[in-house]
Amino acid sequence: MVEVFTVSNEVIDPLLAKVVTKNQGKVAGWMKGEPGAWGFFAGQAVNTVRSVAGRKLESGERRIVWSRMWWWLEEVKARIYSQR
């Protein structure tokens, strides 16, 4: 039986968490509004999920990945600011 890859929060969250963890400097840049920081994360998120899926993502799937990546970045920012 072939397992079908589904883009859902449960599937992509661990992947996106790793993207955030591996790129802390870029997270800081995103929080400061550095040009290109969001594009970097959008690209890394799609490339990471695509690699695991083993195929190109459909348009709607990419939008889900971008939306969830943004959520992860906002969560990190909220946690940092709540500790101040």
pTM: 0.91
- Measured CA to CA in angstroms, residue 4 lies from 12, 15, 51, 69, 79 at distances of 14, 17, 14, 22, 34
CB 41 within 8 A of CB 19: yes
pLDDT given at position 1 = 59
Dihedral sign for Cα atoms in the order 33, 36, 39, 41: negative
pLDDT score of 2 more than 80: no
- Supply the pLDDT for residue 68: 98
In terms of Cα–Cα distance, which of 59, 12, 69 is closest to 39? Answer: 69
| Domain residue ranges of the chain, discontinuous segments joined by + | 9-82
Our CA dihedral for 35, 33, 27, 48, rounded to 10 degrees, sits at -50
Tell me the per-residue pLDDT of 11-67, one tens digit each, with 9 for 90 and over.
Answer: 999 999 999 999 999 999 999 999 999 999 999 999 999 999 999 999 999 999 999
5 pLDDT tier (thresholds 50, 70, 90): confident
Residue with tokens 């040009």: 35
